[in-house]
A = this chain, B = another copy of it.
Amino acid sequence: MGGLAKGLLVIRAFTRDHSALTLSEVAAIAGMPAATARRCLLTLEELGYVTRRGRAFLLRPKVLELGAAYLESMDIEHLTQTHLEELARLTGDSAALSVLDGNDIVYVARTSVRTLVRLEAHVGSRFPAHVTSMGRVLLAGLAPERLEHYFRTQKFEAFTDHTVTDPKKVRQLIEECRRSGYSAVEDELAYGVVAVAVPVHDQSGRVVAALNSSSHSRRISKARLVRDRLAMLKQASRAISAELARVPGLALSAQA
């Protein structure tokens, strides 16, 4: 069903730098002929997902229902929100839950409090696994073949001068993470971002998600972050794991 595939590409053509797009811009960004993009846009407009202002098209809030379908089907609100809010309150920083999708992490829940500088991320945001605390925790929980596939397919791109891009070093970090049960990362995704993450297991012990607390390195050191917050993260992780028995969707949806 090429039309479905292309329609979804059209939705994803809208980004922060492209909030309003003309037909030919959509076609260029989504990589398809103008006539096809037009058909997609007209269908999406008719269905209420897109609106038109002159020659520009913009997404409409109905699109949020698509993402909400995942959140609801995984019962994310019940699964995590209270725990994330507790973490955010106790730490004064952001707390988040993410899962692995391909070679990236995807934020599925996040709670933050007012801080002047923080990583800009929300539900649905993706980052490469190798540069994030949660990504490393998730990679550490992969089966060996899957992890090998990751190393074969991932391009280890640097985001800062501190990003670890040597595959051998990344492997070591993952192994350390597997042994220690957590991962702490500083300045690798973005300057000033420091975070510590722990795995969330399902009933069979598989790592299905990662939980983290993220701050600014001018506010707290990586060592301090680990010392002060690891225990509460582990406790929250255990609580979420217990919830997974009642709400198995997230574990089932997670990659093998």
Question: Footprint of B on A, CB under 8 Å?
Answer: 1-8, 11-16, 18-20, 39-40, 43-44, 47-49, 51, 53, 56, 58-78, 81-82, 85-86, 89, 99, 101-102, 106-108, 111-114, 120, 122-126, 247-249, 252-253, 255
Contacts and interface: CB of A to CB of B under 8 A. Distances in A.
How many copies of the chain does the oligomer comprise? 2
Contacts of A75: 16, 19
A198 to B, nearest CB: 19
Nearest to A60: B253
Given A8-B66, A69-B12, A126-B65, A252 B53 contact: yes
A249 B16 CA distance: 9
Contact of A67 (B56, B66, B255): B66
B67 A63 contact: yes
A20 B39 CA distance: 31
A202 to B, nearest CB: 13
5 contacts: A1-B40, A4-B6, A5-B47, A60-B70, A62-B101
A67 B19 contact: no
A6 B4 CA distance: 8
A32 to B, nearest CB: 13
